[in-house]
Structure 1
Amino acid sequence: AGYATGMFGKWHLGFKDEHYPTNRGFDEFYGHLSGATRFINRRTQGAVSMSVDEEFRSRPPEDPRTDLVVRGTEPPAPPTRRAGNLIVRGPEKTVIDEPAYITDVFGDESVDFIRRHAEAPFFLYSAFNAPHSPFQVTKEYYDRFPDVEHELRRIYFGMIAALDDAVGRILDALDEAGIADNTLVVFLSDNGCAGYFPGLCSCEPRSGGKLTYYEGGVRVPYLLRWPAAVAAGTKIDAPVSTLDILPTALAAAGTAAPADLELDGHDLMPLLDGSAEATGDGRFVWRNYPTVAVRSGDMKLIKPNQDAPGGFLYDLSTDVREQTDLAGERPEEVANLEAAIEDWRSITVEPAWTRRGPVAYSICNIEPIGFEN
């Protein structure tokens, strides 16, 4: 469709060359391929961190970055900027030992991309890794929250504030370029609260959190801005998915997916303009093998093992905390939702890399769940 394409931030979609961003449709890339990397390096000035690794502990006395404040020990140890956690740029995979706070950098790279491509159509994917661990922030943002006594939470708040400012700079760049009205912006989180870090965050009034399919794990902020097409303050009550972003963007660009490519998501514009009340058949399926969950309307079934019968059944219209298991009372509903899962499995690819051994999660408002695979 003639769009310039840029991706800045966390890739997390494979390390092989054929999976590299510039080999997957992006003209520009600056970021890391792994699920996490350090927000700072040894030269970052004015940083506050919950922990340090051996590279930091062994820095020589003459190292100019002497003002790192360590507030505790964070499990697990923070990732290094080595191997898959390196910061790299472009198709040449040039390694950048970035000294600036990485959230600021991803924001600045995004703003620069907008300024360079404001005169023609572009697609920008800014995948901030904040506020993912390791918990590290500049003193500027740490000092914004002097009344927060919990050290980990204070750093976390600072990381979110830095993210908020970076997103603000991106929106400002669109305004300054005079293209905000005709630009579709989507902002969302990839999962709920990481409750396995004690005191970090809360999923109230819901249960679950990251790594679970309870509402605290899958119901996240999802914001869209397109002034020329969507009225400010519009709210969609129907469930939607990140899978809907691609078909919505294609429709906004006046194009469509190739005829031989069947997309899982749906164009959200009928919901946004009020001409529809739901997308597709209204069913949603999640899987992190062997766990699988399905939602149809207000009913949701969570199966700790997709290959075992039964599971936990909840009515979200009356039980958003998912505290009352209705599986024993409504076996027909369980059977219908299990059939929906099997229908979904019949048209999707089974995971080639499956999880083995015992798995246990300690999550908000739910007793620890464990199962053997």
Structure 2
Amino acid sequence: MKRYLLAVAACLVGLATTGFSSPAKPRSPNVIVILTDDLGYGDLGVYGGKVIDTPNIDALAASGVRFTDGYATAAVCAPSRAGLISGRHQARFGFEFNPVGRDEQTGVPVTENSIAQVMKSAGYATAMVGKWHIGQAPGFHPLDRGFDSFFGFLGGAASYFKEPAESGLQADTGADGAMTRARFPIVRGRTVVEQGGYLTDVFTDEAIGFIKSHRRQPFFLYLAYNAPHTPLQAPKAYTDRYAHIASPHQRLYAAMVTSLDDNIGRLRKALADEGLERDTVVFFLSDNGCPNYIRGACSNGHLAGYKAFPWEGGVRVPFMISAPGRIAPGLVSSHPVSTLDILPTVAHLAGVKAPTGVDGRDIASALAPTAKPVERTLYWRMGPNHAVREGNWKLLVVNKSDTVDDMTNVLGSPTPDGVKAQVSPLGQWTLLFDVSKDPGEKHDLAGAHPEVVARLSKDFAAWDKANVEPMFTSRRQFRSEVDGRKVQLFN
């Protein structure tokens, strides 16, 4: 593994110093950040998945470095995106929970720098395609946050088809009726557009159009697919590939991921056709783990928990970087990385400084052969629930519960606005795991290592002092169960 890390380091350092050379002047590499939505850790072949065919994403991983321990800053969509876009943990500025019906009033504070603003300052053309979900009001829109263009939808989810009749198959998950084009329309810039076709294909078409029209200048593209987030919908051509799967939910989900995979293949082919494959750095990851409310259709592999859970299944995600000719192919790293790291890394690639106060770490600098070893500590906060990963240790502190909720009912009946997330009257579970040996978080070691629990608890308290109160309350307060422990979660 040390040999792998040194190889990764050498190649990533080269990313920042070796750009496309034209007769006129050296060119910084293009950057594409591909963010998928609710994609499970175990849904991809390269992460051990056996059910769904993902040859194009697997090939993307094989062309560069795949991280086994890649993390999102949150276990749900909007807070995770807020952390990625700003390079700062969302608890620093109060975007701690999903807005859930409050999108039109709030967003990531304008005092926070965005990754697009950083790249624009370096002279890049910037575009955002897909799902935004971190602000709709004036000042919070993508066009107000450094993107030259925007095509997609502003809320949390949308129907993949303009008309339901277009769909080859649909499977209900309980709250799909709210995810309509009427509520979450597709917009170009700030104008609603009538857009037919399957949305995963449509977003890829838009991304390819941007690439082709900006092939002669450095560009930054944030391609945030909503796939495979609900509603579960796919064209018949894709569902037919999985006709052997009896469960309509699993068949739909597999079809959606295969469609996503085909579109990743289309995107990579477009880069190659335009002669840009070796001049472009591609990040690929998910915003959080896959959910438990889609009837077992997805997989987080050997990890415990799901979307909305601070266990590994909620926050450890597929995470890879491809840069042909710059990163040696086939590398696998167990070095923990975070979505917080993307902003400082791409700033380095663009030749500019990351904004002061970012929580992320430039991956190239952190892995450089000459860099001194630095222990990496990652933190998560979801109301009174929190987690810390330091080295191989992971501390989990989660509210106790005496009941378990039906997730369909939770999605359809959110907690009233204003109900604060507080420590449970029943107390909290304090759990400690060695995630290097026990990534499934089955064996609690808190009793055997009270000194580690005390140290990590102290570290969290010190980190938490720099955070602020949530801007809005959690409307996804629900109770679930993990390995026999009933827990209360906030998202």
**What TM-score, normalized by structure 2, do the two folds share?**
0.66
Letter in 2 for 1:242: T
Confirm or deny that 1:288 pairs with 2:407. Answer: no
Supply the distance in 1 between the matched residues of 2:326 and 2:185 (Cα, whole angstroms). Answer: 40
The alpha-carbon distance between structure 1 residues 271 and 262, as it changes in their structure 2 partners (threshold 3 A), is closer
CA shift for structure 1 position 133: 0.3
State the match for 1:75 in structure 2.
174
Paired residues of 2:398 and 2:428 also in contact (CA < 8 A): no
Cα distance change of structure 1 residues 290 and 367 upon mapping to structure 2, 3 Å threshold:
same
2:361 alignment counterpart:
266
Q: How do 1:203-352 and structure 2 match up within 5 A?
A: 203-258=300-355, 261-270=356-365, 274-276=369-371, 281-305=375-399, 311-352=430-471
In structure 2, C-alpha distance between the alignment counterparts of 1:349 and 1:295, rounded to whole Å: 21
Q: Is the 8 A contact 1:290 1:354 kept in 2?
A: no
Structure 1 Cα separation of the partners of residues 263 and 477 of structure 2: 40
Deviation at 1:265, TM superposition (A): 0.5
Matches within 5 A, 1:172-187: 172-187=269-284
How big is the shift at 1:121? 0.4
The one-letter amino acid paired with 1:32 is F
**Distance across 2 between alignment mates of 1:357 and 1:164:** 30
Range that drifts further, 346-355 or 214-223:
346-355
Distance apart, 1:368 and its partner CA? 3.8
Matches within 5 A, 1:35-184: 35-42=156-163, 45-50=166-171, 73-78=172-177, 79-83=179-183, 85-90=184-189, 93-184=190-281
Structure 1 residues 111-120 or 229-238, which shifts more?
Answer: 229-238
Alignment match, 2:46: none
Secondary structure of 2:158's aligned partner: coil
Do 1:312 and 1:325's aligned partners in 2 also have CA atoms closer than 8 Å? yes
Which deviates further from its counterpart, 306-315 or 8-17? 306-315
Task: Output one character per residue of 1:52-96: Cα deviation in whole Å (capped at 9) or x when no partner.
Answer: xxxxxxxxxxxxxxxxxxxxx33123311234x121111xx2112
Do 1:10 and 1:34's aligned partners in 2 also have CA atoms closer than 8 Å?
A: yes
The answer as to whether partners of 1:327 and 1:334 remain within 8 angstroms in 2 is yes
Q: TM-score, normalised by structure 1?
A: 0.86
Contact 1:43 1:99 in 2 (8 A): no
Greater displacement, 352-361 / 286-295: 352-361
**What secondary structure, in the 3-state scheme, does the structure 2 residue paired with 1:311 have?**
strand
* Residues 310 and 327 in structure 1, CA contact (< 8 A), matched pair in contact too: no
- Aligned partner of 2:386: which letter? V
Aligned-residue CA RMSD in angstroms? 2.3
Unmatched segments (≥5 aa) in structure 2:
1-121, 400-421
Q: What is the deviation of 1:46?
A: 4.9
* AA partner of residue 15 (structure 1): Q
Residue-by-residue CA offset, 1:102-123 (whole Å, 9 max, x unaligned): 1100011000000000000000
**Which protein has greater RCO, CA pairs closer than 8 Å, 6+ apart?**
2
1:315-349 deviations in Å (ceiling 9; x for gaps): 21332211222222322211111111112112233
Deviation at 1:7, TM superposition (A): 0.3
C-alpha distance in structure 1 between counterparts of 2:288 and 2:489, whole Å: 22
Identify if the C-alpha distance between structure 1 residues 28 and 351 changes in structure 2 by more than 3 Å, giving closer, same or farther.
same
Q: Name the residue aligned to 1:21.
A: 142
Instruction: Answer yes or no: is the 8 Å Cα contact 2:290–2:314 preserved in 1.
Output: yes
Percent identity for Structure 1 against Structure 2: 41
Structure 1 CA distance for aligned equivalents of residues 269 and 490 of structure 2: 50
Task: Give me the whole-angstrom Cα distance separating, in 1, the residues matched to 2:327 and 2:382.
Answer: 34
Equivalent pair of 2:474/2:490 in contact (CA under 8 Å):
no
C-alpha deviations, 1:101-148, integer Å up to 9, x for none?
Answer: 111000110000000000000000000000000000111111111211
Structure 1 residues 371 and 114: CA distance shift in structure 2, 3 A: closer
Bigger radius of gyration, 1 or 2? Answer: 1
Distance in 1, Cα, partners of 2:151 & 2:484: 39
> 1:234-292 deviations in whole A, cap 9, x for unaligned?
2221110011111111111121124xx211111111456555586x5400001222321
Counterpart of 1:225, as a letter, is S
Q: How many residues align?
A: 344
Q: Is the 8 A contact 1:195 1:202 kept in 2?
A: no
The DSSP-based 3-state class of the residue aligned with 2:332 is coil
Match of 1:6 among 127, 136, 151: 127
1:54 match = none
Q: Which residue of 1 aligns with 2:77?
A: none
Relative to structure 1, the CA distance from residue 182 to residue 274 in structure 2 (aligned partners, 3 Å threshold; closer, same or farther) is farther
Farther off after superposition, 353-362 or 116-125: 353-362
Provide closer, same or farther for how the CA distance between residues 349 and 21 of structure 1 changes in structure 2, counting only shifts above 3 A: same
How many angstroms apart in 2 are the aligned matches of 1:288 and 1:351?
10
**CA-CA distance at 1:44 after TM superposition:** 5.8
Q: Secondary structure at the match of 1:184?
A: strand
Deviates more, 1:287-296 or 1:299-308: 299-308
Separation of aligned partners in 2, 1:329 and 1:33 = 47
Distance 1:366 1:31, change over 3 A: farther
Distance 2:291 2:327 in 1: 32
Q: Give the drift of 1:372.
A: 9.7
The 2-side partners of 1:345 and 1:372 are apart by: 17
Aligned twin of 1:370: 488
- Listed as ranges, the gaps of 5+ residues in structure 1 are 51-72
Q: 1:309 to 1:372 in 2, by over 3 A?
A: same
